[in-house]
Structures are given as C-alpha cells and as structure tokens.
C-alpha cells in the first residue's frame, strides 16, 4: 500500500515535470526554416556544386594540371582539354566539363587542386529536367573575380 502511494506520487511528479518542460517549448520561437522562402546558412565546408575560380585580373586560376581528373572517383566526370599557347609556351585550358549529374560531391578534386582553382560552392538546388542540362561546361563553371574572392575569403575563415 505504502509502495503504491509512493509510486503514484513519484509518477505524478515525473509527469508534471515532463509537461512543464513541454510547456517551456510552447513559448520558444520555432526552429523551422521555411525553406523555399528562406535559405539555410550553410557552413564553409559544405560541398555543393563545383565551380572554377578566377584570379583577380580575370584569368583562369586553373593551370590545366589535370590532378582533379586523376583523383576523381567517377570515371570521366571531369574532362579537360588543354593546348599550349605557341607564343608564351603556357598551358591554356580550352575546355573544362563536369557532369554534375554523376558527381558524388566527395570533394577530392578541391583538395588535390594545387592552385585551389576548383572549389565546392554552397549551391545545392541542382534539380533539372534533363541529364544534359546538368553537364556544366567551362563557361558555366567559371565564377567572376569578385565572386571568386568572396568564396576564397569564406574558405580562408574555415582554415582558421
């Protein structure tokens, strides 16, 4: 009998405590992010769509070393065509194509890149109506100098 009464009282106290905790939540602002209207604030290491950076003078940061092609786990995902400029003897990147539809967003290419030319952006809304439109060519991948700088700054912060 005494045991039953004790159990009842402790049960009531426990339930009341639980309900008080839930009541505290009633007055909290909701943590729901109403996604299509409000975008999430993504961390710098977020691995979204790949992009090519440009230097501040507008030239490509990519030097055409093809390290990313070697390290990429998806066969023929990154396709680079280079040619040698006959005057300056420098390698010029003619074509740089990434099939984002097959990309697994592992980020190996961004790690191996000696010039940090290829980076992951925080763009993740990649749905499209055809596979062909997910193949990004050099023009679509390259960011203008201003955006490149902003992205570099963001990645810098992450290192520190």
Partner 1 sequence: MYDLYAKILNILRLPEIIAQLTWAVIPFACIAALMVFVVIFLVLMERKFLAWLTVRKGPNRVGPNGFLQTFADAIKLLFKEDIMSEETNKLLFTIAPVIAFAPVMIIYGLMPFTEHLIAINIAVGLFLVFALSSLTTVGIVLAGWSSNNKYSLLGGMRSAAQAISYEIPLVIAVLSIAVLAGSLNLKEIVTAQSGGLFSWNIFPAFIGFIVLFICSIAEVNRVPFDLPEAESELVSGYNTEYSGMKFALFFLAEYAALFIMSVLISTLFLGGYLPPFNDYLSIILLDNIIKNQAIMDILIHLEQGFWLVAKTYTLLFLIIWIRGTLPRLRADQLMGFSWKFLLPLAFINLILTSIIKLAIQGY
- The nearest distance, CB 10 to partner 1, in angstroms, is 14
- What DSSP letter does each residue of the chain carry, written as one string? -HHHHHHHHHHHHHHHHHHHHHHHHHTSPP----TTTS-----TT---SEEE-B-TTS-BS-----HHHHH-SSTT-EEEEEEE-TTT--EEEEEEEEETTT-----HHHHH-TT--EEE-S------S-SGGGEE-HHHHBPPHHHHHHHHHHHHHHH-
> What is the size of the binding site for partner 1 (CB under 8 A)?
15
Indicate whether 28 belongs to the interface with partner 1 (CB under 8 A): yes
Interacting span for partner 1 (CB under 8 A) from 30-38, 46-54, 122-130, 141-149:
30-38
Interacting span for partner 1 (CB under 8 A) from 28-36, 49-57, 65-73, 136-144:
28-36
Indicate whether 1 belongs to the interface with partner 1 (CB under 8 A): no
What is the C-alpha to C-alpha distance for residues 58 and 53, in angstroms, rounded to an integer?
A: 9
Indicate whether 31 belongs to the interface with partner 1 (CB under 8 A): yes
Indicate whether 32 belongs to the interface with partner 1 (CB under 8 A): yes
Indicate whether 3 belongs to the interface with partner 1 (CB under 8 A): no
Interacting span for partner 1 (CB under 8 A) from 22-30, 67-75, 124-132, 138-146:
22-30
Sheet holding 135-136, edge to edge: 78-84, 91-99, 135-136
Indicate whether 8 belongs to the interface with partner 1 (CB under 8 A): yes
What is the C-alpha to C-alpha distance for residues 100 and 136, in angstroms, rounded to an integer?
A: 7
Which one among 2, 3, 5, 25 touches partner 1, defined by CB under 8 A? 25
Indicate whether 18 belongs to the interface with partner 1 (CB under 8 A): yes
Contact residues for partner 1, defined by CB under 8 A? 8, 15, 18-19, 21-23, 25-26, 28-32, 34
């Amino acid at each position: 009998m005494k045991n039953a009464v004790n159990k009842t009282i402790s049960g009531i106290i426990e339930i009341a405590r639980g309900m008080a905790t839930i009541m505290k939540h009633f007055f909290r602002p909701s943590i729901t992010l109403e996604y299509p209207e409000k975008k999430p604030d993504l961390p710098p290491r977020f691995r979204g769509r790949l992009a090519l950076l440009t230097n501040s003078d507008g030239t490509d940061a990519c030097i055409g070393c093809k390290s990313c092609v070697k390290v990429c786990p998806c066969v023929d995902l990154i396709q680079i065509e280079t040619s040698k400029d006959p005057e300056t003897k420098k390698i010029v990147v003619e074509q740089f194509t990434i099939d984002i539809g097959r990309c697994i967003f592992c980020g190996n290419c961004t790690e191996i890149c000696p010039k940090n030319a290829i980076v992951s952006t925080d763009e993740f809304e990649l749905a499209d109506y055809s596979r062909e439109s997910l193949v990004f060519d050099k023009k679509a991948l390259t960011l203008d100098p201003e955006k490149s700088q902003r992205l570099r700054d963001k990645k810098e912060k992450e290192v520190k």
